[in-house]
Chain A
Amino acid sequence: MSVPEGSFPLPAAATAVTAPQKRFRVDGWVLFALLLAALVLVPVVVSLSSFARIDGSILSHLSEFVLPELLVNTFWLLLGVGFGVTLLGVSLAWLVAMCEFPGRRLFDWALLLPLALPAYVTAFVAIDLLDFSGPLLSWLREGWGITGLPEVRSRGGVVMVLSLALYPYVYLISKNAFATQGAMALEAAQSLGLSRTQGFVRVALPMARPWIVAGLMLALMETLADFGTMAIFNIDTFTTAIYKAWYSLFSLPAAAQLASVLILFVLVVVVLEQRSRAQMRYAAVGRSGVSRRIVLSPVMAALACLYSGLVLLLAFGVPVAQLVVWTLDVAVQDLDARYWSFAWHSLILSGLGALLVVVFSVLLAYAGRQRPSALMRWTQRLATLGYAFPGAVLAVGLFIPVAALDNALIDLARDWFGFQGTEIFKGSLLVMLLAYLVRFLAVGFGPMDSGLQRITRNVDEAARSLGTRTSRLLARVHLPMLRASLSTAAALAFVDIMKEMPITLMTRPFGWDTLAVRVYEMTSEGQWERAALPSLAIVLVGLVPILFLTWRADKLRC
């Protein structure tokens, strides 16, 4: 019944049960996925078309003086952040999902809070507190004569900040995995004579792999595409070189060419990872009931509480406390009634964007389940690459074709109806939302795809044998089983869109300033303390989906 991923299309008989009508549906799913991938590929294609004009002098300059170091940097950052987010995310998810310790119910949702905090904000706070001039080192130096401590403005500093900022991706997605299979798997393992640790390492962890990897890939793609954090640390990565080619050497083609290389790299990694687990299946054996949690010994429980608390303090408590202190200084001057509209714009854009991302993620993941084939797998991979694209390059890659379309339409409209305007699609929310979809489809698709894998195909077949149609199967059977994945996808997309800058800056209609745009205005002038107010507002508005997620989870539990 189940087909190894990466194999060729099934014979029609295997899926299409009857009539030619079914065949038409086959085309519908595939066509949908292809169209979605095509949309995402627009900026990639625009980038590739830049290969018509290769600026040899810039590329040879970059490869001689810039690339060697930044490749090493990028490698270490990916390794470090990958290790950091996996360690933090998986350990915390396991503790919260499987164990009982004081404060667990609080940590369950509180550990998601760093999601609402943009990484570049955490980065700035970290440098402000930990650099030579910051309070900690000043105190150590002047009070105790301690010097020669490692510099925070280094690769290690970036790894620390990004691990703390991005672990919630891994935490959130793998918590769902442990919560739905962990206890049963562990019981099974123990009944076979494995110790609890062995059970974790040999059964629960491998079974959760698609989830862990889904979170890890999001964190790594975000690391690769990151510009803000790297700029604050002044660390050169592949993405900073892309911006250098564009902003400093004024060659958008060279920037686009480098971006294509980046995307190709991500694609290769995705394919290799999927190949390596192509033969495995991850369907849950049955529906797990309310699991019995592992009761930790008092010492272990205290350690678990301390560890979770420490991560939460460093990743969220300290940065937010610093933001509050700064905000108190500037609020009188900067806080005005316009903040309601900034917050409203952030809320509505993130809400609509997240909705769009979730709907398309469900359909794309579902298309893969309905029509598993190599073509579909490739289509899915391509459709989720937007997340690894440096934001501003993606924004301009989308804007150029939209503007070209507009120009053609405006000419027609002028000839036919004497149209006087300068904008049809560009400068509308539609373009903005499509751009968000392109960028953040991966954020929704990751949780949805791994969630769908958990639903055994027996369910589908049972439903089909009762004559259920595909749309009803999705609505009545699958979606209710996917509630956790749906809310995960929605929350991730929501907070990511809210923190997003380059697309918002480039495509927003006049007057549509958001909280992230405010942060940009202040930071572009180096006024980080004044950026604290909009940053804090982002955190507050970002709490909405996180609290919603918690509320949903609580409701499901009862």
Chain B
Amino acid sequence: MTFPPLMAALVLAATALSASAEDVVVYSARAEQLIKPLFDAYTRDTGVQIKFITGAEGPLMERLKAEGQNTPADMLLTVDAGNLWQASHQGLLRPVQSKALQDNVPAHLRDPGNEWFGLSVRARTIVYNTTMVKPSELSTYEDLADPKWKGRLCLRTAKKVYNQSLVAMMITEHGEPKTEAIVKGWVNNLATAPFADDTKAMEAVANRQCAATVVNTYYYGRLMATQPKYPLAIFWPNQNLTSKEAGVHVNVSGAGVTRHAKNPAGAQKLIEWLSSDRAQNLFADNNLEYPVNPKVKPADTVAAWGSFQPNLINVKEAGSLQAQAVKLMDRVGYK
């Protein structure tokens, strides 16, 4: 070795553990506790080792960008189509031709250019206090802007990508001016300042600070598991399928193969496996999400919330319109 030995030891400590050709290296913005069980199962099934590192989406993407051709990462796993679209838009992913993925993932939940694929579905819906609201009073997301909800609405912060995606999808349906009016209506109806997370918003609804809110269903599932007495229920909005506002807002967590993957075939196999019957229940049930693969049934807890018609517009719109949505929310003072 030509380097001074101590230096080399410090520097190469990590490299010594470097991936063998078979291993798959994953950068994940999905939390460790939600993915490790799956990776462990994959290793048991196939013998392939998975090395992964977790982090926030923005820094992980910058990391991929800075590493360029010399990235160790084969696969990027993240939540929200907005982030997946950004990764693809910034040239961090590569297209994957896979019959299995075409079959397992519905068209509106994957990239039309095949750079990323949804792996679990997250529905963002209305949760209301059953002692304060009759289900017949509820209809659509848009209706929550109506003055009859004045002082009765709670929302999570506009800084969360889930709300940005929801507003972005509304822009595709209604255009920007009408969406802006709707979001302004929401802000006018707020009972209190937006919350930092979905759970806090639902707690406020349960404690009658407000009557209804908009959350991802798995937060509802988690909260009800610890607080079964809360008078909360799920309402599926926008189910009038003849109108233009058809469908519950859905989003995905998903994955793509990185542009400079060292083991693209291994990464593709892993994504295919994640979309398969075998993995889908593990993937979705672990976090009370919906399987993306239509052949796989959701967990019993999740199925008990009833079925709904999802919005079928391709979730990539959440990405392409995200910045527009953020600016719109800033303009109407949605914090």
**Which residues in A have some Cβ–Cβ distance to B below 8 Å?**
61, 65-66, 127, 131-133, 138, 151, 153-154, 231-234, 236, 240, 244, 246-250, 252, 334, 392, 395-396, 399-400, 403-404, 406-407, 410, 421-430, 502, 505-506, 508-511, 513, 517, 520-522, 524-527, 529-530
Contacts and interface: CB of A to CB of B under 8 A. Distances in A.
A425 B209 CA distance: 52
B194 interface: yes
Given A250-B86, A396-B62, A428-B11, A234 B199 contact: no
Given A151-B193, A400-B62, A505-B56, A249 B11 contact: no
Contacts of B67: 403, 406-407, 422, 426
Contacts of B10: 428-430
Contacts of B322: 248, 250
Given A132-B192, A428-B13, A506-B55, A526 B66 contact: no
7 contacts: A231-B159, A248-B323, A425-B11, A427-B14, A427-B15, A521-B33, A526-B197
A410 B204 CA distance: 54
Interface string B190-210: 001111111110011011010
Interface of B: 10-15, 17-18, 25, 31-34, 51-59, 62-63, 66-72, 86, 157, 159, 161, 164, 192-200, 203-204, 206-207, 209, 219, 222, 226, 262, 287, 322-323, 326-327, 330-331, 335
9 residue pairs, one from A and one from B, having the closest CB atoms: A403-B66, A509-B14, A133-B203, A133-B207, A65-B330, A526-B197, A422-B72, A505-B55, A521-B31
Given A65-B330, A66-B330, A506-B59, A424 B31 contact: no
Given A421-B18, A428-B13, A517-B54, A234 B31 contact: no
Contact of A521 (B18, B32, B59, B66): B32
A422 B31 contact: no
A43 B227 CA distance: 46
A428 B14 contact: yes
Given A422-B262, A427-B72, A510-B14, A244 B197 contact: no
B192 A247 contact: no
Chain A contact surface mostly: helix
A234 B195 contact: yes
Nearest to A425: B11
B91 to A, nearest CB: 13
Contact of A249 (B18, B57, B226, B323): B323
Contacts of A423: 14-15, 18, 70, 72
A521 B54 contact: yes
A530 B34 CA distance: 13
A231 B196 CA distance: 7
Contacts of A425: 11
Given A509-B14, A526-B197, A399 B207 contact: no
B66 A400 contact: yes
B182 to A, nearest CB: 18
A424 B67 CA distance: 11
B160 to A, nearest CB: 9
Given A400-B66, A423-B18, A395 B206 contact: no
Most buried by A among B67, B204, B206, B327: B67
Nearest to A529: B226
A522 B31 CA distance: 7
A470 to B, nearest CB: 27
A430 B204 contact: no
Given A138-B207, A410-B70, A505-B55, A65 B331 contact: yes
A524 B287 CA distance: 13
